[in-house]
Amino acid sequence: MEERRQHERIARSHRVTFQWSYTDEQGILNSIECKTLDVSRQGLRITSDQVLPVGLDIHLCIESDEGQLWLLFAKVQWSESKDGSCETGFSISDLSTEDFERWAKHTRAQLSS
């Protein structure tokens, strides 16, 4: 896979719940709980039990071990099966929210520690 990251990633395990709805008439809401493998200012990689469609827009609720919560809007950049589970890479798509600013500050602090 070609490396295209703009921001340094750090290995961190945060609990993540993400939700999306299909664009059909039923508008079914889907939700998955998983863990991050690594995070950066504008992206993250998770492990889960599902391969997700590239381009899917989702809502991420990320919780740190300290109980901090962030609601971020993201887009699936890639998703693949790997060693019996699935890994998915997301880019954060709305950089103007208050939670994104708090997320960016948190990841900057993690990078400098």
Output DSSP code: residue 105: H
For residue 44, pLDDT over 80 is answered with: yes
Interval 85-96: pLDDT, tens: 899 999 998 888
In the chain, the number of structural domains is 1
User: Phi/psi at 109 (nearest 5 deg)?
Assistant: -65, -40
**Band of pLDDT at residue 113, cut at 50, 70 and 90:** low
Residue 68, domain CATH: 2.40.10.220
Given this model, what pLDDT does residue 62 score? Answer: 85
102: exposed, middle or buried (C-beta count within 10 Å: 0-12, 13-18, 19+)? middle
Quote the domain boundaries for residue 79.
Answer: 10-112
pTM of the model: 0.76
Mean confidence (pLDDT) of the chain: 80
Q: Is residue 70 part of a domain?
A: yes
The pair of structure tokens assigned to 22 is 């299909």
Span 55-66, pLDDT tens digits: 988 888 888 878
Within-domain flag for 5: no
